Amino acid sequence: MELIDIGCNLTHDSFDTDREQVMNRAHEAGVAQMVVTGASPEGSRKALELARGFPGILFATAGIHPHHASDYDDQVEALISDLIGQHGVVAVGETGLDYFRDFSPRPAQRTAFESHIEIARTARRPMFLHMRDAHEDFLAILKASRGDLTSVVVHCFTGTRDQLHDYLDLDCHIGITGWICDERRGTHMREYLSDIPDNRLMVETDAPYLKPRDLKPRVKTHRNEPQWLPWIVKAIAQSRGSTPGQIAEQTTHNARLFFGLPADPEG
Ligand SMILES: [Zn+2]
């Protein structure tokens, strides 16, 4: 099985002491390539730096998470525009809207999101988007600009079936995480996972966050790792009446097309 984790926060400081072991474990579990999420100015710089150390295996995104939208200014915009032109950076993001935590004021989130869209439009690059509890505003902004954009993934999708279809209608890809393994809040998703067309589905861990809650054998740490991506793939396969092998093949194909990744990570 060959998998691609399209969203892992490998620059997170929880990986500082054993990052290479984490990557090795992922590799042994069949995770051939990983896209390292850039979520802040410093994090985006670090993601590219890390990716450069493992060409063909690690790739980076460049963006500012909505939580940090109040820090967004002309300098940050210039940084993202610069990073997106560099080899190894494969998407603009993560960006979007998060009204669940509201760590940044909503108008600031919308302004930063629209600026990311403008960067992606100009550079003709894919977008890696985050949406939580902000569907109406997020959809309105995306609808207005979707025609100007190439590919768009709504990463870590956790919404309702109607919301899913709103994004599919806009020709978005959908990133699925271990959220679906959470019996408290993720099981509603099992019912509509098969609505996602084969060529729109991608998989991710969002590590170190969102460790699958039903992971077996149980591990003590709260930290999620890309090595557990096959567990998520297995859950998706069950819900879609498919096999893990088929899901792996399809989502890896989709991720390579979406981000423009090379087919042979060793090559
Ligand atoms: Zn996110």
pLDDT tens-digit map of 213-264: 999 988 888 999 999 999 999 999 999 999 999 999 999 999 999 999 999 7
pLDDT band at 266 (very low <50, low <70, confident <90, very high): low
pLDDT in tens, 145-181: 999 999 999 999 999 999 999 999 999 999 999 999 9
What pLDDT was estimated at residue 227?
98
Q: How far is the CA of 152 from the centre of ligand 1 (A)?
A: 14
Q: How far is the CA of 203 from the centre of ligand 1 (A)?
A: 13
Residue 124, phi-psi category: left (phi > 0), alpha (psi -120 to 50), beta (remainder):
left
User: Cβ(153)–Cβ(126) under 8 Å?
Assistant: yes
What pLDDT was estimated at residue 119?
98
The model carries a pTM of 0.97
Q: How far is the CA of 267 from the centre of ligand 1 (A)?
A: 30
Distance CA 123, CA 195 (A): 31
What pLDDT was estimated at residue 265?
67
Tokens of 110: 């919308």
Query: Residue 185 pLDDT more than 90?
Result: no
What pLDDT was estimated at residue 217?
87
Tell me the residue type at 190: R
Q: How far is the CA of 209 from the centre of ligand 1 (A)?
A: 10
Compute the average pLDDT of residues 127-144: 97
Share of the chain above pLDDT 90, in %: 92
Ion ligand 1, residue ranges at CB < 5 A: 130
Q: How far is the CA of 84 from the centre of ligand 1 (A)?
A: 19
Q: How far is the CA of 94 from the centre of ligand 1 (A)?
A: 7
Query: Residue 267 pLDDT more than 90?
Result: no
Q: How far is the CA of 224 from the centre of ligand 1 (A)?
A: 14
What pLDDT was estimated at residue 183?
86
Q: How far is the CA of 130 from the centre of ligand 1 (A)?
A: 5
> Greater confidence, 1 or 26?
26
What pLDDT was estimated at residue 90?
98
**Mean pLDDT taken over the chain:** 96
Tokens of 180: 């679906």
Q: How far is the CA of 48 from the centre of ligand 1 (A)?
A: 18
Give the burial class of 168: count Cβ atoms within 10 A of its Cβ; 0-12 exposed, 13-18 middle, 19 or more buried. Answer: middle
Q: How far is the CA of 63 from the centre of ligand 1 (A)?
A: 11
Distance CA 123, CA 26 (A): 31
